[in-house]
Chains A and B, each alone.
Chain A
Amino acid sequence: MNNIFVYCEVNEDGLIADVSLELLSKGRKLANDLNIKLEAVVIGDQIQNIENQIYPYGVDVIHLAQDARLFPYTTLPHSSIVVNLFKEEKPEIAIFGATSVGRDLAPRVASALRCGLTADCTSLEIGDHTENKTQKTYKNLLYQIRPAFGGNIIATIINPDTRPQMATVREGVMKLEIFSPNYKGKLKKINLEKLLKEDDFLVEILERHIESQKINIKGAQIIVAGGYGVGTKENFDLLYQLADVIGGEVGASRAAVDAGLVDHARQIGQTGITVRPKLYIACGISGAVQHRAGMDQSAKIISINNDPKAPINKIADYTIIGNVGDILPKMIKYYKENSK
């Protein structure tokens, strides 16, 4: 009762998605702060040894629903299961990934439970709140911190009166951390027989093409990112070469993706991936607020841009004024000659 619940997404390989593991890691910390338990909701089919997969993140209870009809994800059966579970268990907090699945499911669940839902959070904290009018004080609320207005403002949102306090959280913003390798919880199987109705299967998946997550930008310590200013695919090859020699990954701005210079899977920013590497090299990227939202936590930023006034330069530690096509070969050459 009154614990933290994390909805865990299951991927094509029967594994729990990274974003859900990140949320479990954060959920464990919040559970410790509030002195409550961490519970996971896992719905799918052919899930590989779920207990080994997620207990190490500090999960106390797994609620498992397995059925051939539950994978791939469709809205209605998953929301029926989650709504029913939440009515029984009365979570204090419930978090979902801000992914294609989480942003489809969480609002449906929140509407059915008539509780507040905050979208696309980039940070979650615990804090108190005093209502101005009534002077009523609420202890230990979830502060749900999110960008809105196209990334131009950051709002802190609370749900004082309704439970669960629900939020979706972006991929890549919470740190993935094993809590204890030998942690053990309890497995509870959800009884589906009475729960699922024929009406839950009104939507049928006819076709599905999902790329597996081959590119590991989120985990990269060094990112060489290219924007519209890179100009050509040939110049983009220089980014791959630099990333290759210094051991990094290639990222991109949306304008570069839209121009067909690079695949969408590499897009960084508000509608792409959020990253926080040791080093971010922004090549021909102007630094729109939607792009910065995905990279401004990088430890060091280098901007390569022929415009001294590009906004990205204002958040860069180093700015090299000049042409991407001229500068990258020099960096590659120097590194090859001077590293062991």
Chain B
Amino acid sequence: MSFRIVVLAKQVPDTRNVGKDAMKADGTVNRAALPAIYNPEDLNALEMALHIKSKMKDAEVIILTMGPPRAAEIIRESIYRGADAGYLITDRKFAGSDTLATSYAVSLAVKKLAPFHLVLSGRQAIDGDTAQVGPQTAEKLNIPQITYAEEVVAVDETQITIKRRLERGIEVVKSSLPALITVHSSASECRPRNAKLLMKHKHARTVTELQEETRDYTELYNKRPYLQIEEWTVADLNADVEMLGLSGSPTKVKKIENVVLQQKETILLTEADKDIESLMKELIGTHIIG
């Protein structure tokens, strides 16, 4: 039986480099203008999975992503970098899920892939920013979790040893398998796309995507069935709809405010001695310093 590693990966808007074009006139972020990317720490997770695969005699890396149809891009990107297969969890009924509902759906999909040995996720997604889906999925699968992984120290069929990055230090821990690991940004960067894999898989599509293609893929897919990316809906997961989407989400967003750069009247000074001296004099005089 092959050693099965499941990687959870999310497509996110790139919130890190909010450039001028993504800023609205009122100084807030235009979310629609942000490009959709592979969540950065999920790439660290993919790399860790590929590294573990290289250490084992017979292992496979399978990607799970939940999102709208366009999130199939995450699966192609993973396959170009060395993943063996991927499944897209997609259904309108998942929309509006908070982390509890998300981890419920994700855990059902992982169970469908049983028997598995490891589940790897990123530590945190850069949009929701909660870092909750990893631990909550581990709880739903009833397996141990190791958060903030930086390095795989050792791994075999029954256990794994991981170096964790904590706020004020490091920890090396050993866990039995199966286990879920959340991977920290300080772990190794993901390898680039492999040109051969890119050529081989560039026509990989989901059924939804195929319906939108003008070209007929039937013949190609008969010859190369591995190009088909499978989609899983609520029905495929046998999920209880009450536990999904808005109804399955105990947290509700009451209000959202955009962060506006509050312009203050700043007093401009030069580096001339007299400017610095008058500033220091004022700070001392008003007892802010001294």
B-binding residues in A (CB < 8 A): 72, 74-76, 79, 99-100, 103-108, 110-112, 114-120, 129, 143, 147-162, 202-213, 222, 246-247, 265, 278-279, 289, 300, 302-303, 308, 311, 313-323, 326-327, 330-331, 334-335, 338-340
Contacts and interface: CB of A to CB of B under 8 A. Distances in A.
A51 B255 CA distance: 39
Contact of A147 (B28, B129, B134): B129
Interface string B1-43: 0000000000001011010000000001101000000000000
A246 B290 contact: yes
- When A and B form their complex, which 6 residue pairs have the shortest distance between CB atoms, in order from nearest? A322-B271, A150-B15, A116-B250, A119-B130, A210-B169, A116-B251
A217 B276 CA distance: 25
B54 interface: no
Interface of B: 13, 15-16, 18, 28-29, 31, 98-100, 103, 126-136, 138-140, 144-148, 161, 166-176, 179, 249-259, 261-264, 266-271, 273, 275-277, 279-281, 283-284, 288-290
A155 B254 CA distance: 7
B226 to A, nearest CB: 35
Given A108-B135, A206-B161, A208-B169, A148 B128 contact: yes
Given A107-B131, A108-B135, A149-B127, 12 more contacts: A108-B138, A148-B130, A203-B173, A205-B172, A209-B171, A303-B266, A313-B266, A315-B264, A320-B270, A320-B275, A326-B271, A327-B276
A338 B168 contact: no
A203 B175 contact: yes
A99 to B, nearest CB: 6
B250 A323 contact: no
B174 A323 contact: no
Contacts of B99: 107, 117, 119
| B-side interface mostly | mixed
A116 B103 CA distance: 12
Given A204-B174, A206-B173, A316-B264, A279 B284 contact: no
Contact of B16 (A100, A150, A161, A317): A150
A304 to B, nearest CB: 9
B255 A155 contact: yes
Nearest to A296: B262
A331 B282 CA distance: 12
Contacts of B259: 147, 151-154, 289
